[in-house]
Amino acid sequence: MTKSSPQNYPRITDQRSQYFSCLDESKLITHPRKISQTEISRFITNAIRNAEIKSSREILNIPEGIDESQIQEIYFKEGKTLFRYFRDYCGDPAATAYQLFNEHYKDVCVDQFRLRTLQKERMNSGWRYQFLAFECARSTGRFRSVSDIGTAEADFNAEIEFIDKSNSPLSLYVSVKNRMNTLGGQDWPKAIQALEQVAINDRNRRGPYLCVFGLAMDQGKKSRTIKSNSKTKQAYSVNTEVWLANFFWPFFANYSYDEIMSFVLDVLLKTKKDSLSIKIVVPDELIESFGKCCKEHGLIGEDGRFNNPKKLVEFFCRR
């Protein structure tokens, strides 16, 4: 990946420090106020609602007032969508083909439906904390400006001043993730490069920039890190840091990770509990639509069972 020039902002220069070369936060202005718990609760409520709108929490979103024929059409389309998910999210073609041998398509369909629902729940959780971090950053008074970017690479941009006013403000480009393993090891270099390109190409930026991957629900003794190549030990970018939850939340919200999670729990306890994925009933029409796709691709026999592992491997490998 292309190396970028180090940005000119105060860094920790003590080579004995585990945070060597990271941003020196002590040089930044601090939070002038504490967001009230009433405000935090309102932000969380809005974040939950906005995340549910964005992620379409349930796989099946049946609008009110439609007739039975329209519902049947939705089931049919969702069955085909689930079949594509079954194909596209196969991790190990050989192992999956082995596991599916002699399994009935109805059982496989139900399993895939629940897996996809769990995936959507994880996406929902991620968006919830993106919205919450953004609202908190806008409200603490610490940042000169906070802007919603909303691209695939970055969620929001925040501009913060240094205590020494002779320094230009620092622009932060933030991508919020649930945990460190949200991105696979091989995905980090591309994600880092893509996020930094957002900063480099921002024509409205004044002064230096720092790119941040904020981990909303992952904490550790080392609360910040600069990702590097495991073999060469060279940083993918010296202008990009990964902030764990125990640094990320105090920086943007002026509350600890534990406090944020406690506030979220308080709000969730006052709302209607979602149905657990395992309790969701998969409509028969959706299952039959899934089975029809399996049959059209020659994956199942007359008895509805996956009877040809070789055919399954070919199917997964040619997606």
* DSSP annotation string for 159-189: EE-BSSTTSPPEEEEEEEESSGGGS-TTTHH
> Count of alpha carbons within 13 Å of 69, Cβ hemisphere only?
0
298 pLDDT higher than 70: yes
**One domain, residues 192 and 303:** no
The answer to whether the CB of 171 falls within 8 A of the CB of 204 is no
Residue 197 CA to residue 205 CA, distance in Å, equals 13
Taking only the tens place, the pLDDT of each residue in 307-319 is: 999 999 999 998 6
pLDDT score, position 117:
80
Compare 119 and 80 and report the one with higher pLDDT.
80
251 pLDDT higher than 70: yes
The answer to whether the CB of 122 falls within 8 A of the CB of 178 is yes
pLDDT score, position 60:
72
Examine residue 133 and state whether it is found in any structural domain, yes or no. Answer: no
**One domain, residues 153 and 259:** yes
**One domain, residues 261 and 292:** no
Examine residue 9 and state whether it is found in any structural domain, yes or no. Answer: no
**One domain, residues 49 and 182:** yes
* Averaged pLDDT, 244-265: 96
Taking only the tens place, the pLDDT of each residue in 69-118 is: 998 999 999 999 999 999 998 889 999 999 999 999 999 999 999 888 87
Examine residue 131 and state whether it is found in any structural domain, yes or no. Answer: no
Examine residue 50 and state whether it is found in any structural domain, yes or no. Answer: yes
**One domain, residues 288 and 229:** no
Instruction: Give all strands of the β-sheet with 224-225 in edge-to-edge order.
Output: 145-148, 156-160, 170-177, 209-215, 240-243, 224-225
Q: Which domain holds residue 161?
A: 25-56+141-269
Q: What percent of the chain has pLDDT over 90?
A: 70
**One domain, residues 35 and 166:** yes
**One domain, residues 168 and 233:** yes
Check: pTM over 0.85? Answer yes or no: no
22 pLDDT higher than 90: yes
The confidence band for 276, taking pLDDT boundaries of 50, 70 and 90, is very low
**One domain, residues 246 and 171:** yes
Instruction: Give the range among 58-62, 238-242, 264-268 with minimum mean pLDDT.
Output: 58-62
Q: H helices of the chain, where?
A: 37-55, 68-88, 93-100, 105-139, 188-200, 245-253, 257-269, 284-296, 309-317
**One domain, residues 262 and 288:** no
Rg (CA), the chain: 24
Tally the domains of the chain. Answer: 2
The dihedral region occupied by 102, where left means phi > 0, alpha psi between -120 and 50, and beta the remainder, is: left
* Averaged pLDDT, 121-135: 87
Residue 93 CA to residue 66 CA, distance in Å, equals 39
Contacts of 106 (CB under 8 A, 6+ apart): 287, 291, 304
**One domain, residues 109 and 41:** no
**One domain, residues 179 and 261:** yes
